[in-house]
Structure 1
Amino acid sequence: MVSGATSLNLVRDELFTTMEEAESSLEQFIADRHNGSLLQQAVENLQQVRGTLNLIELAGAELLAQEVLDQATDIPAGAGEERDAQLSALSNALHVLRRYLENVEANRQELPELLLPAINDLRQAGGQQGLPESFFFSVRLDHERPRSAPAALDAAAKTAEGRRLRHMYQVGLLGFIREQNAQASLKLMGRALSRLDNLFANEPRGRLCWIGAAALEAQVDGQLLPRRSRKQLFSRLDRELKQMLGNGQYEAPRSLLKELLYLVALADSRGPQALALSEVFALTPMPFTDHMLEAEYQRLAGPGQAVMRSLSAAIREELTSVKDMLDLIERGTVQADSLSNLHALLGKLSKTLGMVGLSSAGNALAAQLQTVASWSEEQAPDSAQLNSLADAVLYVEGMVASLESGERREPRPAQAQPVSDAESFALHQLNEARIVVVDEAQAGLALAKRAITAYLESGGERMHLSNVPFSLQAVRGGLWFLEQERAALLVGACADYIQKQMFEAPQMPSEQMLETLADALSSLEYYLEAGAVMRPETKPSVLDLAAESVRALGMPLVA
């Protein structure tokens, strides 16, 4: 039997006709909610659509049709405003389904992942839990990981160290959720999980850290989008870490592991952890990327190109009318009716532009309304006012041209503060100096981390550390200049540890202590990367994390 995309053309006409009838009945019901027969007609058409999609085995499309049918069946005749979100999600889902089927017909390729956002919008509107990103992804979860040597710590020390590393993970998670330097936040989370993996290697509970660390590496390496579902996934991972640290027999939920493995497969990362994991689980690259999925879904969910071209043409016609009116006004032909029409047209255009996502263009026209309202036959506008409106119209024309290409990204207008030239120059110079100091501090911390790695790999060769204490003391001085006394104190403690316990000591510290030192430096590096020294409102928790690591090294924190 022929099935899937290849058989869609056999039922295309009847299927699309039935879908159009369902959409029409639903739209009429939304306007006349006491007419239950309209809703019943929509449900019957949806049953036929679902049955047809089941027959030709378009699994993703059938699932969306089933969700639409379930939601439509749940809505009663006479539904009030409390059902508006559900009805809106239904209309959007039908639109997406039709666009998806058109795409399948044109390209002969099924991509059911594109339908998950519409499915989850429907489920959310109906009070149900959304489907995971990995819903259409298959993988065997019972593969054994390669054995490795765990850290030589007793149970109590492991638990204490695990809690400190979970705190590190939480600091990075908070930054990721808030999208405050997401890449730096993800790297901090990844380091925490890698260290936890070292602690619990070869224990069943360490499996979560092993897979989670690779997923975070993939999230960074593949530049995956910071979707809400991924923020929820990594938040869930944090809750599981709490259980793992308190239960030596803990085993991670299979659904969580599958979600993490999906991110590794989606990113197709070349990172060492992701590559090793992909080999164990036989993960193959997806036929799509994260950014491709996002772009395709936006195309499916948004209006078609023909609609956008028509809308763009209509707006351009009205802009032409505005320019004609301005031309007449400039020539001195000012009439009360034309001024009133100009004001009304600008107001209408402003609202239309806002509705299609061109907010800054709409605001540019809205800002002119008060000025235009003050014009009259007796008080004609001056040339400065006319030029200001003409500039706004030209700006809007440029933004409207993006409608046809589907690109509606708008520049953020800079808000200049009224300051004197001398003050502005001084502030600029100070800001430039701060940036240079921060860059040098980051370079110093990165140098220290590389030197410690070389020191460890060489079995304690001190020559690798010869410049590190001096470099860190220079970083400390820079942080004092930036009025970051606590950060400076922590960097100084790390420099003292390296000088006394590594460079001058007869025996190198344990690998665990060196990793703890690297944790402290990584926390300070994150503090700098996240722009903390440039923002007075930055949370102290990152420095709390660095302080925990310094205390674990046995170093006093005295100003």
Structure 2
Amino acid sequence: MVTGVTSLGLVRDELFATMEQAEHSLEQFIAERQNGSLLQQAVEAMHQVRGTLTLIELTGAELLAQELLDQATDIPAGAGEERDVQLAALSNALYVLRRYLENLDLHRQEMPELLLPAINDLRQAGGQPPLPESYFFSVRLDQPRQGKAATQLPEGTDPNALARRFRQAYQQGLLGFLRGQKVPSALRTMERALGGLERIFADEPRGRLCWIAAAATESQRDGQLLARKARKQLFSRLDRELKLLLASGTYEAPRSLLKELLYLVALADSQGPRAIELREVFGMTALPFTDQLLEQEYQRLSGPGQAVMRSLSSAIFEELNSVKDVIDLIERGTAPAESFATLHSLLAKLAKTLVMVGLNSPGNALQAQLPMVAAWRAESPVESGELLKLADAVLYVESMVAGLDSGERRGSRLEAEPGRESESFANHQLAEARIVVLDEAQAGIALAKRAITAYLESNGEKPHLANVPVSLQAVRGGLWFLGQERAAALVGACGDYIQRQMLETSLMPSEQMLETLADALTSLEYYLEGGAGMRRGFQSDVLDLAANSVRALGLPVAA
């Protein structure tokens, strides 16, 4: 059974309709606190949402839905002001969950870490402890460190007294980190103190915490991780553990603390010597996101929904069309004298709008054209090179704005360097062409599946299959264009089977073989729905399922 993001499309419409019902019922209950039936409707809808997410195994979304359900069932009818924080957290979490699933449906990339702030807001409103940042992070905690011996201290040095001084140095650095004062310097002080403790206790179990904590502090500094509240609490907790560590030679650090520290090392992907060693020992690879990306994406989840962005995109396109109309008149030499001032005003307004909605690169691209346009006059012809330069900038803006109404991530396109807007526009056109090819490929496979169904229901009437091999060969060619050679070969094999075993023979294949063929096409359809493996997080083993089905048809499959 294919689960996770690949199954979201199968339940999308019903799931979003149920979530909208939950949001609507909750909003009404907040306004009419005595109407318990409204709250019950919201709870029932949340229960259905949770069940659906459990079925398709979307881990982070399922957890948030469970927290929503737990908090909602805790609220009584007639809830007063004392429940306002809880109700606000519920409303926000529902909104974030819907935005997350919308983006997941578009981009096919699971990132459950984005849901932790909403989950923890709910838990805090309900009086429960927050989940750690590393909740969705997995690592083996029992990996040993090889060949590290404690530093030999000068004769007469009291190791315990020296360790206490190192802890005091850590506390001094921690104070600066908590206050946000000279943070890099404060972290460096903390790292040196932990490194000193590591050298003293390297031969003892308690030295393990110092080793991992020193690498985490290095990563916090070197990776420029955000000084979140959870991280300040983590390093404060570390200080309390250092007190216990110094008091007992048999101290062993809590596993939850070690996991949190290792998560910072994995997240930062620092090239510092401590972090490199730790990643090698624990077999940690870089996470598919950065701290800054998580922050940007969560802010986007909390921002306007797709309906608002579609309206904004439509308004910007109207202004772009006005700009293009004026440019066309200028290029033809038929522009009224006032058109030049109008064009300058339109460009300036549009540039400000783009910057306001976070599209800084296209906004700056238009801003850079303003001095040139301001010098244009009706009595002197505009140079064709200048017109082309402005046209390139406008087309670049148009390509960047095109993603707003589809929910495209602002960071998913490379922002153009000044003067290279035409290159960015060409790249955008290529990306659009890829999308068209994928859509056509999906349509071709869907057509083949319908034709096979009709062939089976008509007891083998071949006219139903007449166009299928040609259609699948076209799909094969499109996938080759996308660089998807393996998927293309599998589609071509399905087309060859239909041509040779269904059209060119008098015997109808067995029902089992037809089901196997349908399985192969269905797996390929899932693969294409997921962006043909071009998005991180997509389940690449779907192609393995298709390959197994093609082998079962008796056709050769390349490894």
TM bucket normalised to smaller: 0.5 to 0.7
Deviating more after overlay: 154-163 vs 245-254:
154-163
Q: What one-letter code is carried by the residue in structure 2 that aligns with 1:114?
A: L
Distance 1:286 1:405 in 2: 25
Residues 64 and 97, structure 1, Cα contact 8 Å, conserved in 2: yes
Deviation track 1:140-170 (CA, whole Å, cap 9, x = no partner) reads: 1111112323133489811111111111111
- How far is 1:178 from its partner? 1.1
Structure 2 residue runs of 5 or longer lacking an equivalent are 316-347, 361-559
- How far is 1:106 from its partner? 0.4
Tell me the equivalent position of 2:56.
56
Distance 1:144 1:161 in 2: 26
Alignment of 1:405-554 (within 5 A): 405=358
Distance 1:304 1:163 in 2: 53
Distance 1:107 1:398 in 2: 28
Q: What one-letter code is carried by the residue in structure 1 that aligns with 2:227?
A: P
Q: What one-letter code is carried by the residue in structure 1 that aligns with 2:267?
A: L
Paired residues, what number? 331
Distance 1:267 1:92 in 2: 29
Tell me the equivalent position of 2:21.
21
Alignment of 1:5-84 (within 5 A): 5-84=5-84
Tell me the equivalent position of 1:551.
none
Tell me the equivalent position of 2:173.
172
Tell me the equivalent position of 2:237.
236
Deviation track 1:438-476 (CA, whole Å, cap 9, x = no partner) reads: xxxxxxxxxxxxxxxxxxxxxxxxxxxxxxxxxxxxxxx
1:30 is paired with a residue whose SS is helix
- How far is 1:184 from its partner? 1.1
Distance 1:77 1:169 in 2: 51
Residues 50 and 65, structure 1, Cα contact 8 Å, conserved in 2: yes
Q: What one-letter code is carried by the residue in structure 1 that aligns with 2:244?
A: Q
Tell me the equivalent position of 1:494.
none
Distance 1:305 1:74 in 2: 31
Alignment of 1:31-430 (within 5 A): 31-153=31-153, 157-304=158-305, 306-307=307-308, 402-405=355-358
Question: In structure 2, do the counterparts of structure 1 residues 274 and 103 end up closer, same or farther at CA, with 3 Å as the change threshold?
Answer: same
Q: What one-letter code is carried by the residue in structure 2 that aligns with 1:56?
A: I
Deviation track 1:167-187 (CA, whole Å, cap 9, x = no partner) reads: 111111111111112111111
- How far is 1:133 from its partner? 0.5
Q: What one-letter code is carried by the residue in structure 1 that aligns with 2:9?
A: N
C-alpha RMSD of matched pairs (Å): 2.6
Distance 2:27 2:307 in 1: 21
2:46 is paired with a residue whose SS is helix
Distance 2:187 2:313 in 1: 41
Q: What one-letter code is carried by the residue in structure 2 that aligns with 1:403?
A: M
Distance 1:7 1:226 in 2: 37
- How far is 1:45 from its partner? 0.5
Percent identical: 69
Distance 1:306 1:25 in 2: 20
- How far is 1:276 from its partner? 0.7
Tell me the equivalent position of 1:471.
none
- How far is 1:221 from its partner? 1.4
Distance 2:354 2:4 in 1: 38
1:134 is paired with a residue whose SS is coil
Distance 2:223 2:42 in 1: 43
Residues 116 and 131, structure 1, Cα contact 8 Å, conserved in 2: yes
Distance 2:189 2:89 in 1: 38
Distance 1:201 1:49 in 2: 51
For normalisation by structure 1, the TM-score amounts to 0.56
Deviation track 1:275-332 (CA, whole Å, cap 9, x = no partner) reads: 1111111111101111111101100011236536868999xxxxxxxxxxxxxxxxxx
Distance 2:44 2:37 in 1: 10
- How far is 1:2 from its partner? 1.2
Distance 1:269 1:32 in 2: 52
Question: In structure 2, do the counterparts of structure 1 residues 398 and 176 end up closer, same or farther at CA, with 3 Å as the change threshold?
Answer: farther
Structure 1 residue runs of 5 or longer lacking an equivalent are 315-394, 408-559
1:71 is paired with a residue whose SS is helix
2:357 is paired with a residue whose SS is helix
Q: What one-letter code is carried by the residue in structure 2 that aligns with 1:266?
A: L
Question: In structure 2, do the counterparts of structure 1 residues 118 and 98 end up closer, same or farther at CA, with 3 Å as the change threshold?
Answer: same
Residues 214 and 274, structure 1, Cα contact 8 Å, conserved in 2: yes
Residues 312 and 400, structure 1, Cα contact 8 Å, conserved in 2: no
Distance 1:175 1:113 in 2: 28
Residues 147 and 201, structure 1, Cα contact 8 Å, conserved in 2: no
1:42 is paired with a residue whose SS is helix
Residues 134 and 262, structure 1, Cα contact 8 Å, conserved in 2: yes
- How far is 1:206 from its partner? 0.7
Q: What one-letter code is carried by the residue in structure 1 that aligns with 2:248?
A: N
Q: What one-letter code is carried by the residue in structure 2 that aligns with 1:163?
A: R
Distance 2:354 2:107 in 1: 28
- How far is 1:404 from its partner? 2.5
Distance 2:350 2:183 in 1: 35
